[in-house]
Amino acid sequence: MAKSTFTLEWQAREYEHKERSQDWFWAAGIITAGLALVAFIFGNIIFGILILLSAFSLALFINRPPTDLHIAVTELGVTRGKLFYPVETLASFWIDTDHPHKKVILRSKKLLMPLVVVPLGEDVDPERLHSLFMKILPEEYHPLPLPEKVLEYLGF
């Protein structure tokens, strides 16, 4: 493995944790029960079970506190937690500093994972990060993926 000539490392939260009231859980439960009931009425039992299991797993996940991710950028690629994205599999980058939670959005050449969102830590200098990325990838505007926008809007 080749020796890295530059490295920028930081710690960032996996996601922004939001406290939810009991009303939020009641509303989610009522909506889930209603959707599952409609699925059962229309005879789609498997879809109803899928809705119930999805809501249950969401309720478990939502109470989990976010972990700290170790993120590193080198000329070999980007490491996000335990995942390594080699520069050969990345097409371009965009640093989103306009968003309240700053992020780096990487476009992957892989078909099933087109965008990789990497959170920026509070102590990261976006200008320095930009100059490092410019050495290895072209810059191209990437909007935040639609599922991420929807999840943020819904409070996830």
Determine contact, residues 90/78, Cβ cutoff 8 Å: yes
Which of 2, 4, 22 lies closest to 73, judged by CA? 4
Q: 112: which 2 tokens? A: 């099933």
Q: Read off the pTM.
A: 0.72
Topology of domain 7-14+68-154, CATH? PH-domain like (2.30.29)
Domain boundaries, the chain: 7-14+68-154, 22-62
Taking only the tens of pLDDT, the chain with its 156 residues reads 555 577 888 888 887 777 888 898 899 999 999 999 999 999 999 999 999 999 999 888 887 888 888 999 988 989 998 999 999 999 999 998 887 788 899 999 988 878 888 888 788 888 888 988 898 899 999 888 788 778 777 766
